[in-house]
Amino acid sequence: MSEQPRDPRLVVEVLSEALPYIQRFSGKTVVVKYGGNAMTEEALVDSFARDMVLMKEVGINPVVVHGGGPQIGELLGKLKIESRFVNGMRVTDAETMDVVEMVLGGLVNKGIVNQINQCGGKAIGLTGKDGGQIRARQLKVERKSPEMTVPEIIDIGHVGEVEHVSTELIEMLTARDFIPVIAPIGVDAKGNSYNINADLVAGKVAEALRAEKLMLLTNVAGLMNAEGEVLTGLSTQQVDALIADGTIHGGMLPKIRCALEAVKGGVASSHIVDGRVPHATLLEIFTNAGVGTLITDTAQPVD
């Protein structure tokens, strides 16, 4: 069965709807955390790459920060290296860190770069170690049970948090029409490498760049209320209240906290975007409806 041709009038309507957003965001920076289904399903990989190229072509500066947890786990399994987790974080000894750098800084990063370039873009792959972009420190993990009077400090190895982001290299690349693609690996003052959660890196990069938007691609439709409806147009105060009353909990909580902190840190808006939707980033930026949860300083939607 042949594909039905698109009605050209609908195409024109879409372009017309996108025009004010293109005008508004031209010259602005958008940091996109890329992961989940959007990074593993072939059709979504292609649509994401095209989105980044189109954004650059209309004058927006996309900066991509990517994850790669499943790919790391797969290679560790092949190498017969056991994966252990504490509070959802992978325990990363020196041997595991070598694998993390190979997967994130090599296989995954260069695959994304290649896909964007195949779509006509000019992507360049980096880790946080390049140019000393991401200064890291070891993440301290606490665990406490009811019978303990003080929390136990657990050493999970080369797992870090962001201490400082230098934007010089990123700004130089975007000014020369490159799309930076950053693997979330940082380095401390002694040269030790650290694996850092990609959401956290994206948030801190967005803050350092004073980005217009932080977009976190995920495998859910967005932040939902008790009735299963997607909440959007939220202020930071409303999000704080939703955390306090338990509406936001579980696996969504760290992602929402990241989005919230970015807005409080100077990013104009944060978006929790359904990465399972083809062209999700374009739909969120260039259409009235969007495809996720929007968080800003005020309750008035800016999108």
CATH number, domain at 135?
A: 3.40.1160.10
Q: Tell me the C-alpha distance between 54 and 277, whole Å.
A: 17
- β pairing state of 89-90 and 193-195: unpaired
Q: What is the domain count for the chain?
A: 2
Q: Which of 162, 194, 211 is the last residue of a domain?
A: 211
Q: Which residues pair with 66 in a beta bridge?
A: 34
| pLDDT, tens digit (0-9, with 9 covering 90-100), for 21-70 | 999 999 999 999 998 878 888 899 999 999 999 999 999 999 999 999 99
Average pLDDT over residues 136-147: 78
The reported pLDDT for the residue numbered 302 is 42
Q: Which of 211, 236, 265 is the last residue of a domain?
A: 211
Q: Tell me the C-alpha distance between 201 and 262, whole Å.
A: 11
- Is 301 found in the same domain as 186? no
- Is 246 found in the same domain as 140? no
The reported pLDDT for the residue numbered 288 is 81
- Is 205 found in the same domain as 73? yes
- β pairing state of 185-187 and 152-154: unpaired
**Mean pLDDT (the chain, rounded):** 89
Residue 103 is assigned to a structural domain of this protein:
yes
The reported pLDDT for the residue numbered 303 is 44
- Is 173 found in the same domain as 251? no
Pair 166, 186: CB distance under 8 Å = no
pTM for this model (two decimals) = 0.90
Q: Which of 151, 186, 211 is the last residue of a domain?
A: 211
- Name the least confident of 93-107, 141-155, 234-248, 257-271: 141-155
Kindly tell me if the per-residue pLDDT of 301 is higher than 60. no
- Is 228 found in the same domain as 195? no
Kindly tell me if the per-residue pLDDT of 236 is higher than 50. yes
The reported pLDDT for the residue numbered 128 is 94
- Is 230 found in the same domain as 183? no
Please give the residue range of the domain that contains residue 271.
213-303
Residue 42 is assigned to a structural domain of this protein:
no
Residue 295 is assigned to a structural domain of this protein:
yes
- Is 160 found in the same domain as 278? no
- Is 94 found in the same domain as 138? yes
Residue 79 is assigned to a structural domain of this protein:
yes
Residue 290 is assigned to a structural domain of this protein:
yes
Average pLDDT over residues 109-131: 97
* Helix (H) or strand (E) run with residue 239 in it: helix 236-244
- Is 256 found in the same domain as 141? no
- Is 125 found in the same domain as 258? no
- Name the least confident of 88-102, 255-269, 285-299: 285-299
| Coil vs helix vs strand at 3 | coil
Name the pLDDT band for 90 (thresholds 50, 70, 90): confident
- Is 188 found in the same domain as 74? yes
The reported pLDDT for the residue numbered 1 is 43
- Is 223 found in the same domain as 196? no
Residue 297 is assigned to a structural domain of this protein:
yes
Cβ neighbours for 23, distance < 8 A, ≥ 6 positions apart:
none
Runs of H (alpha helix) within 61-197: 69-78, 94-102, 109-118, 168-175
Residue 255 is assigned to a structural domain of this protein:
yes
Residue 266 is assigned to a structural domain of this protein:
yes
Q: Which of 88-92, 125-129, 147-151 is most confident? A: 125-129
